[in-house]
Amino acid sequence: MTPQELDAADALAHFRDRFALPEGLIYLDGNSLGALPKAAEARVLETVRSEWGGGLITSWNKADWVGMPQRIGDKIGRLIGARPGEVVACDSTSINVFKALTAAIALQPGRNVILSESGNFPTDIYIMQGIEALTGREVRAQMVQPDEVEGAIDDSVAAVMLTQVHYKTGKMRDMARVTELAQDHGALMIWDLSHSAGAIPVDLAAANADFAVGCGYKYLNGGPGAPGFLYVAERHQNAVTPALTGWFGHAAPFAFEDCYEPAPGIARFLIGTPPVLGMAALEVGVDLFLEADMAAVRAKSISLSQLFSERMAPLAERWGFALASPADPTERGSQVSYRHPEGYAIMQALIARGVIGDFRAPDILRFGFTPLYTTHAEVAAAAGHIDAVMAAREWDRPEYKVRSAVT
Ligand SMILES: *Cc1c(COP(=O)(O)O)cnc(C)c1O
> For residue range 289-311, what is the model confidence (pLDDT) as tens digits?
999 999 999 999 999 999 999 99
Q: Tell which phi-psi region holds residue 225, choosing left (phi > 0), alpha (psi between -120 and 50) or beta.
A: left
263 and 177 in one domain? yes
3-state helix vs strand vs coil in the chain, percent to 5 = 45, 15, 40
CA distance linking residue 337 with residue 307, whole number of Å: 14
DSSP state of 66: G
Q: Which of 10, 192, 210, 358 is catalytic?
A: 192
Asked if residue 311 belongs to a domain, the reply is: yes
Asked if residue 406 belongs to a domain, the reply is: no
Residue 331: how many other CB atoms lie within 10 Å = 13
Q: Write the CATH number for 388.
A: 3.90.1150.10
Number of H helices, E strands in the chain: 13, 15
Q: Write the CATH number for 285.
A: 3.40.640.10
CA distance linking residue 346 with residue 359, whole number of Å: 9
* 3-state SS, residue 151: helix
Asked if residue 298 belongs to a domain, the reply is: yes
CA distance linking residue 164 with residue 175, whole number of Å: 7
Q: Tell which phi-psi region holds residue 18, choosing left (phi > 0), alpha (psi between -120 and 50) or beta.
A: alpha
100 and 87 in one domain? yes
**Nearest Cα to Cα of residue 372 among 11, 8, 15:** 15
**According to the model, what pLDDT value does residue 407 have?**
82
Q: Ligand 1 pocket test: which of 127, 163, 173, 215 has the largest number of ligand atoms within 8 Å of its C-beta?
A: 215
Tell me, in angstroms, the distance from the centre of ligand 1 to residue 402's CA. 25
The domain boundary, picked from 290, 308, 334, lies at 290
Asked if residue 310 belongs to a domain, the reply is: yes
Asked if residue 37 belongs to a domain, the reply is: no
The domain boundary, picked from 240, 266, 290, lies at 290
Atom of ligand 1 nearest to the CA of 167: 15
270 and 326 in one domain? no
228 and 242 in one domain? yes
Asked if residue 35 belongs to a domain, the reply is: no
**According to the model, what pLDDT value does residue 337 have?**
98
| Pocket (CB within 6 angstroms of ligand 1) | 92-94, 121, 123-124, 163, 167, 192, 194-195, 215, 228
Q: For residue 198, what are the domain limits?
A: 42-290
Residue numbers of the chain with a pLDDT score lower than 70: none
Q: Which of 217, 308, 344, 359 is catalytic?
A: 217
Asked if residue 183 belongs to a domain, the reply is: yes
196 and 70 in one domain? yes
165 and 59 in one domain? yes
* 3-state SS, residue 244: coil
Residue 15 a catalytic site member:
no
**According to the model, what pLDDT value does residue 373 have?**
98
172 and 269 in one domain? yes
231 and 130 in one domain? yes
**According to the model, what pLDDT value does residue 403 have?**
87
Atom of ligand 1 nearest to the CA of 95: 7
224 and 124 in one domain? yes
Provide the whole-model pTM: 0.98
Residue 366 a catalytic site member:
yes
- β-pairing, 188-192 with 157-163? parallel
User: Ligand 1 atom 13: the closest Cα is on which residue?
Assistant: 121
359 and 281 in one domain? no
User: Ligand 1 atom 11: the closest Cα is on which residue?
Assistant: 121
Strand partners, 172: 165
**According to the model, what pLDDT value does residue 406 have?**
86
Atom of ligand 1 nearest to the CA of 195: 15
Do residues 374 and 219 lie in contact, with contact meaning Cβ atoms separated by under 8 Å?
Answer: no
Atom of ligand 1 nearest to the CA of 192: 13
CA distance to 338, 352, 353, 360, 389, per residue, from 348 (Å): 15, 6, 9, 12, 10
The domain boundary, picked from 290, 311, 342, lies at 290
Q: Ligand 1 pocket test: which of 167, 213, 217, 282 has the largest number of ligand atoms within 8 Å of its C-beta?
A: 167
160 and 300 in one domain? no
**According to the model, what pLDDT value does residue 404 have?**
87
375 and 308 in one domain? yes
Tell me, in angstroms, the distance from the centre of ligand 1 to residue 318's CA. 34
Domain count along the chain: 2
Give the distance between the most distant pair of CA atoms in the chain.
69
**According to the model, what pLDDT value does residue 405 have?**
87
Asked if residue 407 belongs to a domain, the reply is: no
